[in-house]
Structure 1
């Protein structure tokens, strides 16, 4: 038996199910792609991107970017040539829907859950797994990541291997944005929950074994949504905005997220050695994604620097009553762990999202950040961008490549092997892009030393790739 079901839901009127966001259902393999320009001969690996892609027409509700089945899109690059394939992340729920030939679960805002008669007792009256947000490779595992739930493992051909709970060590799941320490090889994660403990963190060693099981973060006493995190050599950095999960409201047809800005936003520095967290509070803001964080000095009292994209309010679900336009900018927070105090400085006031750095700099001082941005067009939807911006966070200097009719995705850095491999300028930036005029999709590769000069290579993709979320460059030789 279904639970709450809204009386009206018309998926043909949901903007994030249309145009450049519209889902695709065909799974495709193409061995030779057309390349305009030249792919760097040094690139050898696979670019993989995940994103919400409903297999069947949604029922009840659809809330971008949290709803939708995961679909993996991959471009393999080697010897200057490229091939493409895509696959759904086949969770048990998706397999049940494919057997039925229609959607059986409603979106997060509708709470429509199928009965045992429809899907069997193991899946009945439970939420659908949604590993549709991110991808990561750690300790030989390829993972499609969900929002604070167990990820799903997949193989090099994108075939789904099953739910991953790390040998039973993390059965409640992990964040969609784990951070891999490039020095220690550890993957540090968090998970928020509907019941106590509401927020925990854990560590997975470089061999894939859980070395720290779920550890409560003291100071969180009700369910709260946290999308991303940051990591330094000493701390896990958690930005706890006043976005509270309200299941009671959702059950009665309201929003499952309540924005309470009067409580402010809190930031926790959680010592990686297991010490008590340091909390500081400031005016309310929302953070979808961090850029990076690092300890600004070797001494234990050294400040923590956190770069992130700051939104003036929560941007998922209905806008709070009386709220003005949602705005985003690149901000640096400087956090004093001794005083429990932070100051915030705007690094760049352009509207940006999907920030990335050279992942080899995670937890250490970085210089350059790449972000999706806009040129000011009024016809772009929330989550749609038509330019890429590169910002030198030390000098504030910025470069922009305007994409014209293309809507671009998250830019990802691929280091170039060689004697200068440690340089943030020695490599390439890459992303998917889709033409708003004809639906054609492209894989773009930019030179890191001069990205604003435009793509070195434009690879024509055989199908439209819906605008989605997060990606990774996976070299054939795993570091």
Structure 2
């Protein structure tokens, strides 16, 4: 064990305590307490993934990157709800369970076990961390890592295997693929520490890889990219100046270096395989995109996202002195001129934006975010006490807010009401997990899209605390099926 591992004190890491503290108990509860009334037309499951170390971390812990994955599922049908949670049992987690303690350190510590602890296959390897997001595509439920192979999960949340898509994507994908609601195609990307540093791929609606890993021309350094956006024509990737520095990490320095003098680049990758287009601007960081779409007839691409002045990891930005604005932002990208025009739509501290997924790649009416109301002192990075909705139909972006009181809320996910397809209608519900700051109890909230500021129509009591963060998905029951 290296010196950093020996001196690391997990009790001093805020994101391992309080409302972020991991839970270790796996629970099945068929009938949950409901305050209010669950809409009778809701039939499906809300599933959320997030960092949840099974054992006390060693070496380092960097929220939200580090941790084991744990899926939390609320099954809703006929006005009632049940709950189940399960760890994503990767080979490294199974080895730690056999040992009874952590064997791998966090990403900043580079602590790995030797063959005498885990055998030759896992020795001196980095652990799998599918702890960021969860999606269902082509009948497969996937727990997703920051950059690596996802893990295939059963409908009952049991871990089946590492998913390499028939060996076509052996390096994996990142945590935020995008599914085209019209074609059913899933667009993915992957970044790496060695060439090729950035690749993209397309997976058909049947789950087969239509385009294998394709290097992105002009991506010549290892850079962190958390999310992407998709239009009818392009994959949209934002390359902020957050560069991986292995040499610095091995000598006790930072694994990720923020270099604002190099600015931020946006690359448009044609889905038909044509030449990529680049645009360049002053440095800014984004964790999450809202959506993107082609702005006909002028050929521009509109990208909406949550902007930060610099890379935010843990309790504070790496460069808190940057003057670049934050909040909900709209960028218009000219693929011919290579220019980028940004407009701030809201300057509040917000994150975890979502839309009705049926509008991915097309102009959307409404988006929702977790928000800081400004009423609550002591909120950590990644913690929010309100939900906020934006209406994008007029010339000005209108907003409305539900203040969650003593609850810290998570990402709002949209569940369409059953009926004719079309997307972006007023028929549906927003849902999220929330934890009470006064007693640590967790709730599942269901909020009507027609009047979200009125708050939940149903609050479902979860039998265990659900740690705050990160990403979830609504899985309608009619789409339930065998996992391939």
The verdict on a shared fold, with TM-score over 0.5 as the criterion, is yes
1:268/1:278 contact within 8 Å kept: yes
1:420/1:426 contact within 8 Å kept: no
Q: How does 1:431-450 map to 2 (within 5 A)?
A: 431-450=432-451
Structure 1's unaligned 5+ residue stretches are none
Cα 1:145–1:382 change in 2 (3 A) is same
- Taking only aligned residues, the RMSD between alpha carbons, in angstroms, comes to 1.5
Counterpart residue number, 1:374 = 372
Counterpart residue number, 1:362 = 360
1:386/1:407 contact within 8 Å kept: yes
Counterpart residue number, 2:301 = 304
Q: Deviations over 1:270-326 (max 9, x none)?
A: 1111011100100100010000000011x5x51100000000000116744673699
Counterpart residue number, 1:233 = 232
Cα offset, 1:152, TM superposition? 0.3
Cα offset, 1:425, TM superposition? 1.4
Q: Deviations over 1:383-426 (max 9, x none)?
A: 00000000112331101000011000000000001258634311
Q: Deviations over 1:343-390 (max 9, x none)?
A: 000111111100000000000110111000011122100000000000
Counterpart CA distance in 2 for 1:383 and 1:270 is 30
Counterpart residue number, 2:461 = 460
Counterpart CA distance in 2 for 1:276 and 1:4 is 47
Q: Deviations over 1:44-85 (max 9, x none)?
A: 100000000000000011000000000000000000000001
Counterpart CA distance in 1 for 2:456 and 2:218 is 47
Counterpart residue number, 1:337 = 335
Cα offset, 1:6, TM superposition? 4.4
SS at match of 1:248: helix
Counterpart residue number, 1:90 = 89
Counterpart CA distance in 1 for 2:402 and 2:311 is 28
Counterpart CA distance in 1 for 2:347 and 2:4 is 41
Counterpart CA distance in 1 for 2:311 and 2:10 is 23
Counterpart CA distance in 2 for 1:342 and 1:43 is 41
Q: Deviations over 1:102-126 (max 9, x none)?
A: 0000011111100000001110101
Cα 1:349–1:283 change in 2 (3 A) is same
Following superposition, which runs of at least 4 residues in structure 1 exceed 6 angstroms of deviation? Answer: none
Counterpart residue number, 1:295 = 294
Counterpart residue number, 2:246 = 247
Counterpart residue number, 1:430 = 431
Counterpart residue number, 2:134 = 135
Q: TM-score under structure 1 normalisation?
A: 0.97
Counterpart CA distance in 2 for 1:10 and 1:430 is 35
Q: TM-score under structure 2 normalisation?
A: 0.96
Counterpart residue number, 2:215 = 216
Cα offset, 1:328, TM superposition? 3.2
Cα 1:22–1:10 change in 2 (3 A) is same
Counterpart CA distance in 2 for 1:355 and 1:460 is 24
Cα 1:302–1:327 change in 2 (3 A) is closer
1:412/1:473 contact within 8 Å kept: yes
1:68/1:130 contact within 8 Å kept: yes
SS at match of 2:227: coil
Counterpart residue number, 1:316 = 313
Counterpart CA distance in 2 for 1:67 and 1:99 is 20
Matched residues, number: 476
